[in-house]
Structures are given as C-alpha cells and as structure tokens.
Chain A
Amino acid sequence: EAGVTQFPSHSVIEKGQTVTLRCDPISGHDNLYWYRRVMGKEIKFLLHFVKESKQDESGMPNNRFLAERTGGTYSTLKVQPAELEDSGVYFCASSQVGGAQETQYFGPGTRLLVL
C-alpha cells in the first residue's frame, strides 16, 4: 500500500512568487491534514479536511494560504504571494478514522525556502 506522498520534495522561490504544494493521501483516507514546521519551532497544525470539506482551518496563518481538496482525493496548498517567514517544512498527513483511536500517517514533507 502506497503511503502519503507529497510533491515537490523541495521548492526554492523568491519572495512574492506563488508556490503550490500537493499531497496525495493514502487511498480511502477521508481525513487529510496539513502541518508546518518552521525552523527551530514545533510542528504546527494548519488545517483538516474531511473528504472535500474543511473541518478545521484554525491554523492557517493568513489569507495568503489557500488549501483545496477537490473531489476528496488529493489536496493542494497554495501560498500566494510567498513571504520569507513562510519558509519551512510542510507536512501532509491522512487518516481513516478520526477520534481517540486515530493514527495519522505522514508524508515526507515539502521543504520550502523563500528567498
């Protein structure tokens, strides 16, 4: 069974440019999460999809970030325009069952560097 995949693995862009990150969850997983780790800080939650609906987007830093999950399969996270502080590692995770027994499966992350 394929795990969670993310594309690209690395991205280097200039301030003001747009970047789109993609996440393909494990097949059949309704829950999809985005997280971010800024250098020196802990991993922080960005948002949670259940199928194609945004269940919780309380962690999204501002309106420069737009996440979509059309059709309830893969998800994209667009940053437009990118700022220096957006640099970090963006992780995607998916799970089949929510609640107390939920185990989230994480992708390898996309390393974003904004210059």
Chain B
Amino acid sequence: KQEVTQIPAALSVPEGENLVLNCSFTDSAIYNLQWFRQDPGKGLTSLLLIQSSQREQTSGRLNASLDKSSGRSTLYIAASQPGDSATYLCAVQGGNTPLVFGKGTRLSVIA
C-alpha cells in the first residue's frame, strides 16, 4: 500500500529565502508525482507534474525533482515571497491506481 510522507509539516521562512520541501513515498512503481498548492478555503492547484521517466520539472521559481528508486521528491522554491504562503501537497499516482497524497507542508513566508 502506497504511503506518502511530507517533511516538514510546517515551515516559516523570511522573504527572499530559498527553501526545499520534501516528499517520500514507499512504493517506487509510480506513473507520476505531482506537487499541488492549496490556499485556505480554496481547492488544489497543480504546480508541477513529473512523469516516472523524468528527473525534474521547472516552472518559474519552482523546481521539482524525482528520484524514483529512492522514493523521494523535493520541491525547491527560489527567492520565496509572501504570496508563496500556502499548503504544499505531494501526490503520487501508480498504474490504474488513484492519487495518494501526503498530509502537506504548511509554508509561511514572512515579509
């Protein structure tokens, strides 16, 4: 049974700092790994999707890496801004299996 763990559960950083969020999963047989962002009272917004054959994806200040063999992914946020404050969720999808989510990392960027 796939399990996804995200560390840390919460993180507070000053504006401008670079930061890394971690995600680990127990079953390396995945189709893809996705990072989502959730703002309070809102739905989830997909940030990056990494297919199992890929090692990383980049979008603006965000870079996500995937090491399937070790069951790990990181989300790197460069030059953090207060607008980056949100909960970041990692989810993995296997073949013909649904998305399995971690509990998320709650990020606060202090101006």
Q: Please give the residue numbers on chain A whose beta carbons come within 8 Å of chain B beta carbons, in ascending order.
A: 3-4, 33, 35, 41-45, 48, 56, 58-59, 91, 93, 99-109
Interface centre among B93, B98, B101 (most CB of A within 10 A): B98
B72 interface contact, C-beta 8 A: no
Sort chain B's interface into a size bin. 20 to 34
B81 interface contact, C-beta 8 A: no
Asked whether A104 lies within 8 Å of B99 as measured between CB atoms, the reply is yes
B43 touches which one: A48, A91, A99, A102 (CB < 8 A)?
A91
B101 touches which one: A43, A56, A58, A100 (CB < 8 A)?
A43
Closest 3 CB pairs of A and B: A45-B98, A106-B43, A106-B44
Q: Please give the residue numbers on chain B whose beta carbons come within 8 Å of chain A beta carbons, in ascending order.
A: 4, 31-32, 34, 36, 41-46, 49, 51-52, 89, 91, 93, 96, 98-104
A42 touches which one: B41, B98, B102 (CB < 8 A)?
B102
| Sample (5) of A-B pairs whose CB atoms are under 8 Å apart | A35-B99, A58-B98, A100-B93, A101-B49, A109-B43
Distance (whole angstroms) from the CB of A12 to the closest CB of chain B: 16
Q: How far is it, in angstroms, between the C-alpha of A33 and the C-alpha of B52 when the chains are bound?
A: 22
Asked whether A4 lies within 8 Å of B98 as measured between CB atoms, the reply is no
Asked whether B101 lies within 8 Å of A103 as measured between CB atoms, the reply is no
B98 touches which one: A33, A99, A100, A105 (CB < 8 A)?
A33
Known: A41-B103, A42-B102. Contact between A104 and B46, CB under 8 A? yes
Asked whether A103 lies within 8 Å of B43 as measured between CB atoms, the reply is no
Asked whether B49 lies within 8 Å of A99 as measured between CB atoms, the reply is no
Q: How far is it, in angstroms, between the C-alpha of A109 and the C-alpha of B32 when the chains are bound?
A: 24
B31 touches which one: A41, A59, A99, A108 (CB < 8 A)?
A99
B99 touches which one: A45, A58, A107 (CB < 8 A)?
A45
